[in-house]
Amino acid sequence: MKNRTFLLLGLIVLLLGIWWFLGSSSPDTQRTPSTKLSTSQHSVSQTPSGSGLSPNSSISVVGPASVNPQVASDRISTFQAVWNAENGKNLDFYGEIVDQNGQPVADVDVAGNVLRAGGIDSTKSEPHKTKSDANGLFRFEGLRGMDLGIVPSKVGYEYDLRLPSNWSDAYKADPNNPVIFTMWKIQGAEPMIHTELDSRVPYDGTYATFDFFSGMKSDVGALIINLIRNPIRIIRSQGHFDWTVQISVSGGGLVEATDSYKNLAPENGYQPTFSFSMPKDDPNWTQSLTTTFYVHTAKGQYGRVDIDLTTDSVRTDGTGISIEAWINPSGSRNLEFDPKKQIKTPAP
């Protein structure tokens, strides 16, 4: 749901609250214990452009329980007029659905959820449906409301609501410039090793190694993490510090996973080591590293690994790291994962 809706809701509530309290000081208004006026809860589908109103969200206005009836009526009328104006917005929308190879996807079920105000004390989601045509194109025309959420779905395809698109607050409805939605055409999951690990990494430059296959810290593991922190001894939350992390795969390589759907490892481009440096004076300084790599092992196996590393621990046994890995032992680059096909016994 686009950000402007959330900001508008907050502004309306703030203005109404100010009016309500100011009105209570008039001679014909008696101050009494406060009451709360709340909207009913609502659920709105997330749009591809990012954040929005959360399901189960509500807005509230707190003010005197007793005010001049005419003043209260005027304020409610003004508030209702604002909602009516929002409900009257033109939500014409034009979209195009393609697969991971840029090919159009036909016959996709597309849900268009319109957010509407039901009055000063409620909002609701109004559902609409359509399908993509042979060219992957779809449209919603004649819809009115505060905002619009789009959710495509089709058997045999995957769609991630968190994915970015070219839909933004600046969107102008144009059938010649549709918003692109990318779905992943499922190839079919293969047996895969899946491991998860929470462990520690020294911050003095000592190497830590982890085994993809057993999901354990191991001296013979293929994944090698090296963290150097300067100074080594810090006081947590007391200023920035320099840190550098090196990540490598013994006898193999890594490549950063930046594509939308991480279901197919690339054939080439792997490097033996990746380095990340964070100077203490970097304006975007952070104490954490969260990244995803495709990996190619010394045995010619492909996989994916998610790494979440902190650098600011003061524990003597090192700082925290979480690792989740998916390895296809067959040598295939296919990383589509089905828990039912997970290999329970670690590969040798």
The predicted-structure confidence for 99-128, as pLDDT tens digits, reads as follows 999 999 999 999 999 988 776 566 788 899
Q: Is the domain of 197 the same as that of 330? A: yes
Mean pLDDT score, 41-51: 33
Q: E strands of 16-121, at which residues?
A: 34-38, 60-64, 93-98, 109-119
Residue 324 lies in a domain: yes
Per the listing, tokens 């100074």 go with 231
Residue 241: its pLDDT value, please? Answer: 97
pLDDT tens for residues 227-269? 999 999 999 889 999 999 999 999 999 999 998 899 999 999 9
Q: How many domains in the chain?
A: 3
Helix (H) or strand (E) holding 250: none
Q: Is the domain of 323 the same as that of 202? A: yes
Residue 347 lies in a domain: no
Q: Which of 101, 162, 173 is nearest to 136 (CA)?
A: 101
Q: What is the mean pLDDT of the chain?
A: 81
Helices (H), the chain: 3-23, 69-87
Q: What is the CATH number of the domain that holds 163?
A: 2.60.40.1120
pLDDT tops 90 at residue 48: no
Most confident range (mean pLDDT) of 51-60, 80-89, 121-130, 160-169 is 121-130
- Residue ending a domain, among 127, 152, 185, is 185
Mean pLDDT score, 214-232: 94
Which residues constitute the domain of residue 237? 193-341
Q: How far apart are CA 237 and CA 233, in angstroms?
A: 12
Residue 103 lies in a domain: yes
- Residue ending a domain, among 23, 58, 86, is 86
The whole-model pTM stands at 0.70
pLDDT tens for residues 176-204? 999 999 999 999 999 999 999 999 999 99
Q: Is the domain of 155 the same as that of 259? A: no
By the 10 Å C-beta count (0-12 exposed, 13-18 middle, 19+ buried), 95 is classed as buried
Residue 289 lies in a domain: yes
- Residue ending a domain, among 185, 205, 224, is 185
Q: Is the domain of 210 the same as that of 157? A: no
Q: Is the domain of 32 the same as that of 116? A: no
By the 10 Å C-beta count (0-12 exposed, 13-18 middle, 19+ buried), 102 is classed as exposed
Confidence bin at 17 (pLDDT 50/70/90): low
260 conformational bin, left if phi > 0, alpha if psi -120 to 50, beta if neither = alpha
Residue 346 lies in a domain: no
205 conformational bin, left if phi > 0, alpha if psi -120 to 50, beta if neither = left
Residue 70: its pLDDT value, please? Answer: 66
> In degrees, to the nearest 5, what angle opens at C-alpha 311 toward C-alphas 306 and 313?
120
Q: Is the domain of 22 the same as that of 63? A: yes
Residue 348 lies in a domain: no
Q: Which of 202, 223, 208, 220 is nearest to 324 (CA)?
A: 223
Helix (H) and strand (E) counts in the chain: 2, 20
